[in-house]
Structure formats: structure tokens, C-alpha cells
Amino acid sequence: MVPFAWIILVSILLFALGAIALITRRNAVAALMGVELMLNAANLNFVAAWRYYYPDHLDAQVAVLLVITIAAAEAAVGLAIILNLYRRFGTVDLDQIRLMRG
Amino acid sequence: MNIDNVYILHTFAPEIALVALALLVLLVDLLLPKGNKRQVLAVFAALGCLGVAGLGAWQWTNGAPTPPAAVQASVHVLAQRGAVALEAMLFHTSVTQPTSTAPVLTPDFLVGMMQDKMWPLKSVTETDIRALYKAANLTGMDSLNTTDARAALIAYTALRRDIVRLPAQKLGLAHADEAVWWLFANDQFSAAFKVIFALAAFLVLLFSVRFPVERYRGEFISLLLFAAFGLMVMVNSLDLVVLFLGLELTALCVYPLVAWHKDNPRSAEAGTKYLLLGSLASACYIYGVSLLFVTFGSTHLNTIAADMHAANPMALAGLLLIIIGFGFKVAGAPLHLWAPDVYQGAPYAVAAFLSTASKAAGFAVLLRVLTIGFPHFSEQWATLLGVIAALSVVVGNTIAVHQNNVKRLLAYSGIAQAGYLLIAVMATGAAHLAGHDPIDGGKALVLYLFLYTVGNIGAFAVAGIVAQDTGSEEMSAFAGLRTRAPLLAFGMLILLLSLGGIPLLAGFVGKWFIFLSGVQEGQYLLVLLGASMSVVSIYYYLLLAKQMYILPAKADAKALRIGLPAGIGLLLVVLLTVAIGAYPRPFVEAAQVTAQALLGR
Amino acid sequence: MNIIFYLAAAVAIVATLLVVTRLNAVHALLYLIVSLLAVAVVFYTLGAPFVAALEVIIYAGAIMVLFVFVIMMLNLGPQATETERGWAEPELWFGPALLCGVLLGEVIYLILRMPTGTTLARVGTPEQVGVALYGPYLLGVELASLLLLAGLVGAYHLGRRAPHEEPGGGV
């Protein structure tokens, strides 16, 4: 089998890239994509740990299921909020939306 | 109805009532004709929340319910298996230590072994062993209460590390009623916080009658109730994945609540900011949990605590990510940047809820996760929290001085309050390190969270009423409030002085116990910083008081109407603030009992 | 099996990198779908076919369709026609299509060399996961349902037009 470290490396890369997308993207929709990537990296950890170390702990797959559910709900609510933002401002560019200091 | 369902109903009475209330509000809202009559709905829901708080208080006084027979039976089996393993291990040690005689499995003998450093499992405490022993040999299942059972399970999970790693399903916990016992704490600590959240929802709903939430009152109320429900799940769960469900349930309710005002672009901006940063925090949290699963094969706090022996780098990384997630939730510096903007854009009722109940849940969960799951990492997390606390106190108080917008002022003051509260959490870690009793820190935390929740909701409510009347969120809107609404001004004065920590008011009592817990653990510098910064905070609270009492009202200012529900809520808040300050003893004792349920050994 | 994993993981990372760097949101979204599909293949190689299927159906299917919808709605401005024309440009679909081709090749390979027996099905079958889900985690499922309800109410409020907004105006 593939060494476990490789899988963790992939997962960490996915997480880091997702975080970078979330922080640096100016487009709010693209920033929300970063969240999906980060949650997905967590899923990869759960499945890999289940497979390599704890094959009888199905808690991992349950956790993955719940995380996927949450990701779906979060995407729906998040996109609704971004749509709402677009209606107020006519743009989803986060750099142009600065009514408040900070 | 069978006995197990009764047990579930008993265990989750406040939660079930809250969800039922939320669904009822949604239904009534669908059936009612459109119109302003819906303000009645808010009052109705507020009264329902009061009932939920009553249920929580009833749970708190009665303590944890006895689990059903099926659970007790499986615990009994587990405990016996644990005892068998224990004996095998003892036999092994007696072989390697020829001087000792045949092992007699008495608690005193086991404790003696622990003190001789022969005990292979450092994380199993004396109480655990006594409980395990009691559960396995001495008593039948009749007298086995939840605390003993849980302690037995901790011991068992510790034992099974050396036998075989078993997940929850293999432990025979296959039914829902057993899951209740396995995944949720159901102790007085969570019951106390259920009361706090229900009270916060009650106050926020009472005040929300006053604030324009347009025609969508039903959805607003039900989302607020769902958010409170999510907070209850958070403080009650022992499993980090279930905790994540509660965290996200709250977050998904609060994101739309922040963006509620459709005619105010600031609200939409605040909602987006909170959405993106909040999702970042939750994603960090769940990634940390997944790293813990990689290390321990479980996301259950008891199993994590039992399996942890040395500082494992991956577990440390996971813990760090979890602390980042909660640090965001409680708005501790440097993770506070979202708070002022989000509070400013959000409706007043939502900002009040966010800055109190949501923050309180963050602290409660932080305390539970760190002290139950990661006592072995006390040194690391206590240091980290100390740094965050110092930063929050300094940043919050110094920036608050320059604020003109009342919401931003309250936001920065909330960041400073988070700093004081972190001192209390840190003190529990330091106490654990030094081998002291960690209860003082927990007691201070619970007490301060209660009085802060009540007082800060009141302050937000007054700010909201004034802003709605004058159409301005600036401090100058408060000018001459003494003549326009003398009672309101007096109430606000008391709340501000309490937040600033003036003696004879609630805030002073809370700060006193927090600083005391810090001093007891030798954190003199941190406490000195907190105390001196709290003097700075009195300055900016008095700036607001000066507007109300010294500066004249604008020429065209009229008398200000408060409305009955908000008036009742304010009266309650002020009375509680004065009562805690004047006669703190019953509140301190209640906080002591609550902290004891979590931290007591 | 190893080479399949390395290839799928490489595809996932390259696609994710492109999600971060592509300026156009539609480009980024296409690469995000590729990344999710690649992670699904990784799940399959790890022996979790159920999770892999869910990943494709829910993530790459449902959630991404939502994203596509929103991006399309946001583009409904004066530049809509230009965006329409942009769809025909090969630079838009070539990269994702190439990476998807790699994944497709992997899946075909997996199907061809799949043994007649079900060696993978010993652990992590949908049935076992279901038993765990409705056993110890039953209350977690209940919580998830409440979470979806709360999300529904919130999204409904935000998605609804405010009374003063003109029908057909804006989005």
C-alpha cells in the first residue's frame, strides 16, 4: 500500500490550498470554494486513518457522511448570502465591498 | 412508551422543547396573515424560552438522570472485562516484582501502586479505579450512577488500549439510548449552560420585539431558537464530530441572521464577512478533529484523554487547529478582526446574541475540551491561551477607547471581556499543571459568563433602542438621554458600570473571582495587565455615561418610548446585575456546583 | 493500485492549485470539480467505495451544480453574451478535460482489472456504515436533519425578494 505519509501530505496540501483560496480570492464565490476544499481534506484524513490504522472504527465513515452533509448545507446558505450580497452591491468582489472600517 | 425513551426525553427535555417551539413558530407564521400582529409571536417565543430555561434549571437541580437498564448492563459487562484485564496486568507486575505478594485487588492497593510509579496507565486516576472496582465487583447495577459508569468507561478505554482498540460499536453501544450516554455528557455543567442560552434567547427575543425585523419575524425567531439549540448541543456533546454538528447548526442559523436586513447593505456585507471567516474557523476545527482521529482512532473526548500519554506532534497540531476554531468563536485577539464589522452590520438583536450566548458556548466548550480531552497538554494550551488573553485584553481595551460607534465600542469591549474569561480558562490549565484544584478557574468562568451574558444583552438592547429612536449609531445619539428617558439612562449606567467592574455590581464580583483564580496560580503579570486594562475600560464606559448624563439633548429631541416587553427585559437585566453584585453568594455557590460537575475529581 | 493513487493524488493537487490561481470563477469551479472527482478516486483506491460514490454524487454533483447556478446568475449582466461566447474557447475546457481524462483512464483501468469477487467489500460497505449511522450516531443523524432545516429557512429568507424590489430586476 501507499505509505500513510503520502496521504497525509496530499490532505495537508489540499487543506492549505483551500485556506489560501479562502483568504486570497477576491471573488466571494471562489472564496467559498476554498471551504469545500478544506472540508474535503478533513474527509481524506478520516478515510485514510480508518483504512490504515483503525479498520473497525466505522466512526470515520460516519464522520465523513456528516461532514459532507454539513458542506452541502453550508454551500447552500453561503451561496444564498453571496447572492444577497450581489443584489445589494451589484458585485461579489470582496475588495469593492468596504462600507465598514476594518 | 418504553423506559429508554423516557430516559431520552428526560435527558434532552430543554433541547426538545426548544426545537418544538421553533417548529411551532414556523408553523404559526405560515398560518398567520401578514401584518404587524406578529410581534405577539416574538413575545410568545420569548415566554417559551423562559419555559426552556426552567426545564434546564430543573435538570440542573436534579442532576444527571440514571441511565436505563440496558446501558447499565453493558457498563457492568465492560467494567467486569476491565477488571479482568486489570487483574491480568497486576499478575504481570507481581511476576516482574517478586517482592510483592499475591495481588489483592483493593482500591487502596491500586492507589498505592500508582504512587509507587508502577502503574502503567498514568491517565487512570484514583477515582476511576475506585469507580471501576465498585462497578465490577462490589455493587450491583442498581447503585451504578452515570458518573461511576463514565469513570468506569474511562478506565476501561484506558485499559483497552493495551488489550485491543475497540470502537464504540464493539463496546456493545448499539442502541440510541446508549448513544445518548456515550456521545453526550448530560452533567450539571451542560445543564447550567442550557439555562444561560435559554435566558439569552428569552432576552434577545423580548428586545427584538422593539427592533424592525420587517415582515419576516417568524423565520427570524425560529432561526434564533435553532441557533440556541445548536449551542446546547455544543456544550452537551463529548464527541468532537457531534460537537461540530452543533457548531455548524448554530453557524448556519447565524449567517443569515447577520445578513437579515435586506434594505441595509452593511448587513449583507457583515453576513458575507461572517460567513467566510466563520467557515474558515469551522474548517480548521474539523481538520483538527480529523488529525486527532488519525492519532487516536476516535473523536471521543474520553477516549482521547485515555489514550494520550506523551505530546504527539500530530495531536498537538490538531489541538492547535481546534483552539483556533474556538478562538474565532469567542473573538479572542488576534482572531477578533471579524467582530466589530459583523456586529456593526448585524441587527442589534443578533449582535447581542452573537456577543453573549455564542461566546459563552465557545468558552464552555473550550473548557470542556481542554480539561477533559487534553489535560496532558495543559502546559501548551495554558501558555497559548495566556498569550491570547493578554493580547485580547490589550487590543480590545485600547481600540475601544477610540470608537465613536456604539456597536463597535461594545464589540471591542467584548473582545476585552473575552481576554478576562481566557484568564480563567488558562488558570484551570495552570492549576492542573501545578497539581492544584482547577475548580476556581471554572467557577469564575461560569459566573462571569452568566453575568456577562445578561449584562451585555441589556447594553446592546439599550443601544438598539436609542439608535432606532435617533437613527444614529454614534455615541452622540446618547446625548441627554437622562432627560429623554431617565429610567433607560439609569439602567444603562448600571450595566456599563457593571461591565467596567465597579464594586457592588455584578461585573466586579465576576472579575474578582477571575483575577483571584489567576493569582492563585501565580499568573501575577497577566492579572496585573487585566486589572490595569480594566481601569482603562471604565474610562470609555464613562465616556458613554457622560453623553447620557452631562451633555444636553438635542433641541428637537422628544421623550423616548421603550415599550412594555423591552422594559420588562431591561428591568430583569438590571435587577440581576444589582442582585449578583449585592448578594453574590447563591450565584457563586451555583457556579461552584456547576464547575464541580465538570472539573471535580 | 499504488500508481492509481499517486496519479489521482497528483491530479487532485494540480487541479486544486489551479482552483487557487485561475482568475475566472468559472475556470476555478471546473477545476474544483476535477479536484473533487480525483479525491473520489483516492477514496476508492483506499477501499471506501461508499464514500467515493457519495463524494461524486453530493460534492461533485449537487453542491457543484449549486455553484454553477449561482455563477451563472451572477453573470446575468450586460457582459452575459460575452461570457456565453467564452464558453466555446478551448482554453476554458481544455485543462479540466485533460485532468478528467486521466481520471477516466484510471477508472476504466480499475473496472478492467476488477476481480470477479468482491474483495473490497469486506469493510466499509454501505450496510455497515448504515448500521453505525443509525446505531451510536442516531442522534447525530437527527441533528443533521435539523441542520438542513435551519439552512433551508435561512437560505429561503435570503433568496426571497424584498417587497420593494422589482420582479425581474436584479437577480
C83-128: pLDDT as tens digits: 555 555 666 678 888 888 888 888 888 777 765 544 444 556 788 7
Average confidence (pLDDT) per 10 residues, chain C, 171 residues = 87 93 86 93 89 91 89 67 57 79 84 59 70 80 94 90 50 33
Question: Which percentage of chain B shows pLDDT scores above 90?
Answer: 54
CA neighbours closer than 13 Å in the CB half-sphere of residue B442: 34
CA A59 – CA A50 distance, rounded (Å): 8
Picking from B19, B222, B245, the nearest residue to C144 by CB comes out as B245
Within 10 Å of residue C110's Cβ, how many Cβ atoms? Answer: 14
User: What is this model's ipTM?
Assistant: 0.97
Q: What is the mean pLDDT of residues B570-589?
A: 95
The answer to whether the CB of C15 falls within 8 A of the CB of C38 is yes
Q: Which one of B155, B183, B211 terminates a domain?
A: B183
B390 assigned to some structural domain? yes
B17 assigned to some structural domain? no
User: Range of C73's domain?
Assistant: 2-120
B165 assigned to some structural domain? yes
CA B40 – CA B518 distance, rounded (Å): 46
Owner of C-alpha cell 447593505: B265
Owner of C-alpha cell 483564580: B517
How long is chain B? Answer: 601
Q: Between residues 2 and 41 of chain C, which touch chain A (CB distance below 8 Å)? A: 2, 5-6, 9, 12-13, 16-17, 19-20, 25, 28-29, 32, 35-36, 39
Within 10 Å of residue B467's Cβ, how many Cβ atoms? Answer: 19
pLDDT band of residue A33 (cuts 50, 70, 90) is very high
Residue of C131, C143, C145, C156 to mutate, testing the B interface (most B Cβ within 10 Å of its Cβ): C143
List the CATH number of the domain containing A62: 1.10.287.3510
More confident site: C48 or B282: B282
The answer to whether the CB of B507 falls within 8 A of the CB of B501 is yes
Picking from C9, C128, C155, the nearest residue to A80 by CB comes out as C155
One domain for residues B568 and B460: yes
Q: What is the mean pLDDT of residues B263-286?
A: 94
pLDDT at B115: 46
B20 assigned to some structural domain? no
Closest by CA position to B230, among listed B254, B195, B206, B205: B254
One domain for residues B230 and B356: yes
Output the CA angle B209-B215-B217, nearest 5 degrees.
45
Q: What is the mean pLDDT of residues B333-348?
A: 92
Q: Name the domain count of chain C.
A: 1
Q: What is the mean pLDDT of residues A74-102?
A: 87
A101 assigned to some structural domain? no
Q: Name the domain count of chain A.
A: 1
B2 assigned to some structural domain? no
CB contact under 8 Å between B255 and A77, yes or no, is: yes
Q: Which one of B183, B214, B245 terminates a domain?
A: B183
A51 assigned to some structural domain? yes
One domain for residues B166 and B237: no
Q: Name the domain count of chain B.
A: 2
B373 assigned to some structural domain? yes
pLDDT at B144: 44
Q: What is the mean pLDDT of residues B35-57?
A: 87
Within 10 Å of residue B503's Cβ, how many Cβ atoms? Answer: 11
pLDDT band of residue B118 (cuts 50, 70, 90) is very low
Give me the residues paired with residue B474 across strands: B405
Q: Which SS3 state, helix, strand or coil, does residue B431 take?
A: helix
Burial category of C93 from C-beta neighbours within 10 Å (exposed 0-12, middle 13-18, buried 19 and up): middle
Does the pLDDT of residue B137 top 80, yes or no?
no
CA B330 – CA A31 distance, rounded (Å): 23
The chains in contact with chain A, meaning 3 or more Cβ pairs closer than 8 Å, are B, C
Picking from C132, C154, C156, the nearest residue to B255 by CB comes out as C154
Q: What is the mean pLDDT of residues B373-384?
A: 89
- Kindly list the residues from chain C whose CB atom is less than 8 angstroms away from the CB atom of residue B178: 136
Picking from C136, C151, C156, the nearest residue to B182 by CB comes out as C136
B399 assigned to some structural domain? yes
B269 assigned to some structural domain? yes
User: Range of A68's domain?
Assistant: 4-96
Q: Which one of B130, B160, B183 terminates a domain?
A: B183
CA B191 – CA B189 distance, rounded (Å): 5
One domain for residues B169 and B269: no
- Kindly list the residues from chain A whose CB atom is less than 8 angstroms away from the CB atom of residue C55: 40, 43, 68
- Kindly list the residues from chain B whose CB atom is less than 8 angstroms away from the CB atom of residue C140: 183, 241-242, 245
By the CB < 8 Å criterion, does C151 face chain B?
A: yes
B534 φ, ψ to 5°?
-70, -25
The answer to whether the CB of B410 falls within 8 A of the CB of B463 is yes
CB contact under 8 Å between C136 and B179, yes or no, is: yes
C132 assigned to some structural domain? no
CA C103 – CA C90 distance, rounded (Å): 20
pLDDT at B114: 45
- Kindly list the residues from chain B whose CB atom is less than 8 angstroms away from the CB atom of residue C132: 169
Residue of C123, C129, C157 to mutate, testing the B interface (most B Cβ within 10 Å of its Cβ): C157
pLDDT at B581: 93
pLDDT at C106: 83
One domain for residues B501 and B593: yes
A102 assigned to some structural domain? no
C142 assigned to some structural domain? no
Distances (CA, A) of B476 to B459, B488, B544, B554, C90: 16, 16, 9, 10, 60
User: Range of B235's domain?
Assistant: 54-64+186-599
